[in-house]
């Protein structure tokens, strides 16, 4: 319904919108001169588009901001309200307002004669103490380089300037953020954008202002409201498409090494007499003997012949002898094999792709002489899908889609368009989405398969789950991954995991131990690469440990404590498989995040605005991972309700904050009293894990049992 009234604000439009399922309302009041809009949810003001005595909508060009001036000519129709303005430099601007699904309100803004380099913008008035969450997986703007991770930023975006432009590693992006006050904005665009939270373009503090500026022909955004930030995230997720529901086996523990060689001997010197890749066999046999569950094994590049071990998309017989039989062997043991794929082709396949015109770029900087494929072309997509289909026929259960965030044209260095007419500039951010869509189209049974991505855009989670790619193998890499989990949850990437132990080399044993605890309380628990080692083939901190195609260049040590910690948390993660899957169903059906920052669930607790070290895993588990090296105790935020400590059995009532001791093997874990998970006893499980780790498996005997 719509009403137009006149008062001291001039012409005011009041639009009442129904909210799906809950029966609550989002309303908007619009002032015409200057243009402003204030939004209320269930009668309480939540957000306002306003900029003092100037219009909230503007155009930013070389000469500065161009504003809407005077009053508009208002035309109402069945789809909403259209307002036509003059700008301060004499152009015509149009503002369309209408109600849309999920109880949201859409604003569409355009200016006649807008130049390519000009950006359309909106200014929002906010409170000085609210928090903002989403947009990017990475903690800070810029390339999150593996060797120089950011050390200052937290989960809250306040104080940051974010350029929404896909960059390599930690490459999940979404043009959506949610406020701690129960509202959110989704910009319907893949063009690059700039968001400023509590600061202006010169870096000066503006604590009650947020600005958003976008390239492209128009600025279209939706305002959502909700009782809590969780509800706002749900509505956004349903708007762009909720997450894919992967098979239940995806929620068990995974194993991965960055590179696997077929070595002449195993880590302990036992000769390699097996029929398959020795490092894969070592992992599977050792994990099975130690009682470490494994539901997925990821085979990373290099795995094929040719340049960079990827050229012909067929298994390299030297690295992977008897590959078809290996895949059968894994699946018979309940282990699903996942294979690495990139969005480019090399060698003979590159030449064919270029000849057929299936490429976006015929030569990208890395890998050299590779052709980046154009997944907006049905012909190019079908050609690529036919290349990967034989791998699925062998029994590969899905693909790890990597590098969709690298070497994608941005339209600045050279202009061009994709096959569907999308400009390179507009398509840069959308490319990871197209990559995931193309890969899903290759799967004969998507419901029984798995895709997981490093790079993602709005809508990518409808096709693939995600991992936080290439974190530093340090306490800072762990810290950033803890933030990334919760950022991803805010952006509709609820099924997420990290490279446990980091990616850039070998972590300290303390970092690996802490990371194993954290990963147990992520939807995906992917252990590796830890310099292609395992806790049974470890080396003391400070000892140079290296393994290459000729074998181990050090004397591996069996780290009993690390092995026990892996046993403890892998088994716990596996026992939570049904719980995690139930949360994934909720995420798939309703858009509910699995990892839940405390402020998302308890926004009335204003002290939670900047809290990220303690979070909820699903509705009933409260966890506080440890990331600082040398930590002996940590503060745990206990939210409202009664919670039981799964290490001690003691109960505590929140809201409160308590200090808890954290020996190397322990991550503070609490369960909501009354939950089905109350029977978990982590102290007893730790005793069992230690006993199991003391019995070091005999690889020679394990090989004999396999008939090798």
Q: Which residue has the higher pLDDT, 164 or 529?
A: 164
Q: What is the architecture of the domain spanning 595-694?
A: Sandwich (2.60)
- Percent with pLDDT over 70 in the chain: 95
pLDDT at 144: 61
CA–CA distance, 429 with 189 (Å, rounded to integer): 9
Determine how many CB atoms are found less than 10 A away from the CB of residue 101.
12
pLDDT at 2: 33
Tens digit of pLDDT for each residue in 118-127?
A: 999 999 999 9
Whether the ω angle into residue 367 lies within 30 degrees of 0, i.e. cis, is: yes
Give CATH 2.60.40.1760 domain extents, the chain: 2-240
Average pLDDT rounded to a whole number, residues 571-586:
98
pLDDT at 86: 96
Structure confidence at residue 43 as a pLDDT band (50, 70, 90): confident
CA–CA distance, 511 with 527 (Å, rounded to integer): 13
CA–CA distance, 434 with 153 (Å, rounded to integer): 31
Q: Which residue has the higher pLDDT, 475 or 413?
A: 475
Q: How far is CA 633 from CA 513, 521, 614, 660, 667, in A?
A: 15, 19, 14, 5, 10
Structure confidence at residue 203 as a pLDDT band (50, 70, 90): confident
CA–CA distance, 373 with 357 (Å, rounded to integer): 9
Structure confidence at residue 62 as a pLDDT band (50, 70, 90): confident
Give CATH 2.60.40.1180 domain extents, the chain: 595-694
Average pLDDT rounded to a whole number, residues 505-521:
97
- Percent with pLDDT over 90 in the chain: 87
Q: What is the CATH number of domain 2-240?
A: 2.60.40.1760
CA–CA distance, 306 with 327 (Å, rounded to integer): 21
CA–CA distance, 626 with 185 (Å, rounded to integer): 32
pLDDT at 20: 24
Encoding tokens for residue 156?
């809250």
Structure confidence at residue 18 as a pLDDT band (50, 70, 90): very low
Structure confidence at residue 26 as a pLDDT band (50, 70, 90): confident
Cβ(565)–Cβ(689) below 8 Å = yes
CA–CA distance, 215 with 218 (Å, rounded to integer): 8
Determine which of 2-11, 443-452, 697-706 has the lowest per-residue pLDDT on average. 2-11
Structure confidence at residue 336 as a pLDDT band (50, 70, 90): very high
Structure confidence at residue 21 as a pLDDT band (50, 70, 90): very low
Residue 692 is given by DSSP the state H
Cβ(319)–Cβ(261) below 8 Å = yes
The most distant pair of C-alpha atoms in the chain lies apart, rounded to whole Å, by 88
Kindly write down the DSSP assignment for every residue of 326-352, as one continuous string: HHHHHHHTT-EEEEEE-SEE-HHHHHH
Average pLDDT rounded to a whole number, residues 330-350:
98
pLDDT at 16: 34
Structure confidence at residue 25 as a pLDDT band (50, 70, 90): low
Tens digit of pLDDT for each residue in 419-430?
A: 999 999 999 999
| SS3 call for 359 | strand
Average pLDDT, the chain: 93
CA–CA distance, 514 with 663 (Å, rounded to integer): 10
Residue 78 has pLDDT above 80, yes or no: no
Determine how many CB atoms are found less than 10 A away from the CB of residue 252.
23
Tens digit of pLDDT for each residue in 128-178?
A: 999 999 999 998 877 666 667 777 788 999 999 999 999 999 999 999 999
CA–CA distance, 460 with 437 (Å, rounded to integer): 8
pLDDT at 295: 98
pLDDT at 8: 26
Structure confidence at residue 49 as a pLDDT band (50, 70, 90): very high
Q: Name the strand (E) or helix (H) holding 178.
A: strand 171-179
Q: How far is CA 607 from CA 130, 612, 614, in A?
A: 10, 11, 12
Residue 409 has pLDDT above 60, yes or no: yes
Tens digit of pLDDT for each residue in 451-463?
A: 999 999 999 999 9
Residue 10 has pLDDT above 50, yes or no: no
Determine which of 136-150, 308-322, 343-357, 583-597 has the lowest per-residue pLDDT on average. 136-150
pTM: 0.96
pLDDT at 73: 85
CA–CA distance, 466 with 460 (Å, rounded to integer): 9
Structure confidence at residue 306 as a pLDDT band (50, 70, 90): very high
pLDDT at 145: 60
Q: How far is CA 154 from CA 114, 132, 182, 471, in A?
A: 36, 11, 20, 16
Task: Give me the sign of the Cα torsion angle 246, 251, 256, 258.
Answer: positive
| SS3 call for 142 | coil
> Where in 230-365 does DSSP place strands (E)?
253-257, 296-299, 336-341, 344-345, 359-361
Tens digit of pLDDT for each residue in 267-280?
A: 999 999 999 999 99
């Amino acid at each position: 319904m719509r009403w137009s009234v006149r008062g001291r604000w001039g012409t005011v439009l009041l639009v009442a919108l129904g909210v799906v399922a809950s029966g609550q309302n989002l309303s908007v009041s619009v002032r015409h001169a200057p243009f402003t809009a204030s939004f209320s949810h269930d009668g309480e003001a939540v957000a306002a588009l306003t900029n003092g005595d100037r219009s909230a909508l503007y155009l930013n060009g070389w000469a500065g901001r161009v504003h809407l001036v005077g009053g508009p000519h208002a035309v109402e129709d069945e789809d909403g309200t259209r307002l036509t303005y003059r700008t301060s430099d004499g152009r015509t601007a149009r503002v369309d307002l209408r109600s849309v699904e999920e109880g949201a309100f859409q604003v569409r803004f355009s200016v006649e004669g807008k130049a390519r380099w000009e950006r359309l913008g909106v200014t929002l008035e906010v409170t000085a103490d609210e928090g903002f969450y989403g947009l990017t997986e990475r903690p800070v703007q810029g390339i999150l380089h593996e060797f120089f991770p950011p050390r200052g930023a937290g989960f809250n975006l306040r104080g940051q300037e974010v350029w929404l432009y896909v960059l390599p590693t930690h490459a999940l992006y979404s043009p959506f953020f949610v406020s701690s006050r129960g509202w959110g904005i989704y910009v319907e665009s893949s063009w690059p954008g700039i968001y400023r939270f509590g600061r202006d373009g010169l870096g000066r503090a503006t604590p009650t202002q947020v600005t958003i500026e976008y390239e492209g022909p128009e600025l279209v955004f939706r305002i959502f409201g909700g009782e809590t930030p969780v509800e706002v995230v749900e509505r956004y997720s349903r708007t762009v498409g909720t997450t894919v529901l992967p098979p239940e086996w995806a929620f068990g523990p995974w194993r991965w090494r960055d590179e696997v060689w077929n070595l002449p001997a195993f880590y302990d010197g036992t000769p390699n007499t097996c029929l398959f890749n020795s490092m894969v066999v070592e992992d599977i046999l050792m994990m099975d003997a130690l009682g470490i569950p494994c539901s997925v094994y990821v085979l990373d590049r290099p795995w094929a012949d040719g340049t960079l071990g990827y050229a012909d998309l067929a298994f390299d017989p030297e690295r992977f002898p008897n590959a078809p039989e290996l895949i059968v062997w894994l699946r018979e043991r309940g282990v699903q094999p996942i294979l690495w794929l990139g969005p480019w082709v090399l060698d003979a396949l590159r030449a064919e792709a270029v000849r057929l015109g299936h490429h976006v770029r015929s030569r990208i900087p890395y890998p050299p002489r590779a052709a980046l494929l154009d997944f907006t072309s049905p012909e190019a997509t079908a050609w690529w899908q036919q290349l990967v289909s034989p791998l699925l026929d062998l029994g590969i259960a899905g693909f790890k889609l990597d590098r969709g965030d690298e070497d994608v044209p941005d339209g600045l260095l050279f202009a061009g368009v994709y096959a569907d007419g999308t400009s390179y500039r507009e398509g840069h951010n959308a490319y990871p989405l197209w990559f995931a869509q193309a890969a899903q189209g290759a799967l004969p049974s998507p419901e029984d398969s798995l895709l997981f991505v490093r790079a993602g855009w709005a809508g990518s989670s409808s096709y693939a789950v995600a991992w936080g790619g290439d974190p530093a193998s340090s306490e800072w890499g762990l810290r950033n991954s803890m933030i990334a989990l919760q950022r991803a949850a805010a952006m509709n990437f609820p099924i997420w995991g990290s490279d446990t132990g980091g990616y850039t080399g070998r972590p300290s044993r303390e970092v690996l131990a802490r990371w194993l605890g954290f990963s147990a309380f992520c939807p995906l628990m992917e252990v590796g690469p830890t310099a292609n080692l395992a806790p049974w083939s470890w080396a003391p901190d400070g000892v140079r440990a290296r393994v290459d195609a000729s074998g181990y260049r050090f004397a591996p040590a069996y780290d009993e404590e690390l092995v026990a910690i892996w046993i403890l948390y892998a088994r716990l993660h596996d026992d939570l498989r049904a719980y995690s899957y139930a949360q994934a169903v909720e995420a798939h059906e309703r858009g509910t995040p699995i990892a839940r920052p405390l402020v998302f669930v308890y926004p009335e607790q204003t002290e939670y605005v900047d809290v990220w070290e303690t979070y909820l895993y699903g509705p009933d588990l409260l966890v506080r991972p440890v990331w600082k090296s040398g930590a002996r105790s940590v503060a745990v935020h206990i939210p409202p309700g009664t919670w039981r400590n799964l290490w001690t059995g003691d109960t505590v009532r929140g809201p409160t904050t308590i200090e808890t001791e954290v020996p190397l093997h322990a991550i503070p874990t609490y369960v909501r009293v009354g939950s089905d998970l109350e029977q978990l006893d982590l102290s007893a499980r730790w005793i069992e894990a230690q006993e199991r780790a003391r019995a070091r498996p005999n690889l020679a005997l394990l090989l004999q049992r396999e008939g090798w």
